[in-house]
Amino acid sequence: MHVVGIVASPRKYKNTDTIVQRLLDGCEASGATVGKIYLNDLDLRPCQACKVQDGSGCVFRDGMDQIYDVFEDADGIVLGTPVYYNTVSSQMKLMMDRSYCLARPVVLPSGGRIYESSVGKKKKGIVVSVGGSGSNPDCVLPVFDLWSPEVNLVIVDSVLVTRAQLGLAPMESAELLEKAFSKGEEFARSLAA
C-alpha cells in the first residue's frame, strides 16, 4: 500500500505539515510506504477553464503532472490544508481546480448527464484541516466532498483542529499528534483490508 501526503500549507514543519507527517508515520507503522509532496514547492499554473474533459488530461505540463501521477498510483492520500478565510489554502484550491479535466461527462439514455472520473484507481483519503483563531475547521469538508469524486477518491476520515479549540498551536499538542498517528495506522490498515 502506498500513501502520499499532500501538504497545502506554505509553512514546512508547522501545524499542517506536522499533523500530516504524524498520519504518514502511523501509515508506515502499519506497513505502508509513504511519500509527501509540498504543493508550494511545485510550479503550478492556475486553471484556465478550457473545460476539456475528454480524458486527454490538462493542456498544461507543469508540477501538476506529479500530482496526476499520485492520483493514478497511490492507494491513499492524506490531504492537509490550513484554513484560509473559511476555506482551503490557495495551493490546495489550485490543485483542485486543475483536477477539473479528470471528470468525464457521461450522457444517460434519459438525456441527463453525469460525471465520472477518468482516474482508474479508486483511493481513500484523509483530510487534515488546521485553523487558527476560527472555530470551524470543518468548513473545508464540503469543498473536499465536491472535489474528491473527480479524482476517484473517497474521504474516509479527518483531523480537524484550530488553535481556538486547543488553546495552543496544534503541533504542540502531544495528544493530538498521538491521535493523528493512530488514525494513520488505522487508515493504512483499512487500505490493506
Ligand X SMILES: Cc1cc2nc3c(=O)[nH]c(=O)nc-3n(C[C@H](O)[C@H](O)[C@H](O)COP(=O)(O)O)c2cc1C
Residue numbers at the binding site for ligand X (CB under 6 A): 9, 11, 14-17, 82-86, 130-134, 162
**Between 117 and 181, CB nearer to ligand X:** 181
Closest CB to ligand X among 17 and 75? 17
Closer residue to ligand X (CB): 104 or 179: 179
| Residue number with CB closer to ligand X (14 or 189) | 14
Alpha-carbon distance values, 8 to 11, 57, 80, 105, 163 (Å) = 9, 22, 6, 28, 18
**Nearest distance, CB of residue 35 and ligand X, angstroms:** 19
Q: How far is the CB of 134 from ligand X (least distance, A)?
A: 3
Closer of 68 and 84 to ligand X (Cβ): 84
Measured from the CB of residue 171, what is the shortest distance to ligand X in angstroms?
Answer: 7
Shortest Å distance, C-beta 120 to ligand X: 32
Rounded to a whole number of angstroms, the minimum distance from the CB of residue 82 to ligand X is 3
DSSP string, the chain: -EEEEEE--SSTTSHHHHHHHHHHHHHHHTT-EEEEEEGGGS--PPP------SSS--S--STHHHHHHHHHH-SEEEEEEE-BTTB--HHHHHHHHTTGGGEEEEE-TTS-EEEEE---S-EEEEEEEEESS-S-GGGGHHHHHHHGGGGTEEEEEEEEEEHHHHSS-GGG-HHHHHHHHHHHHHHHHHHH-
Position with the least CB separation from ligand X:
134
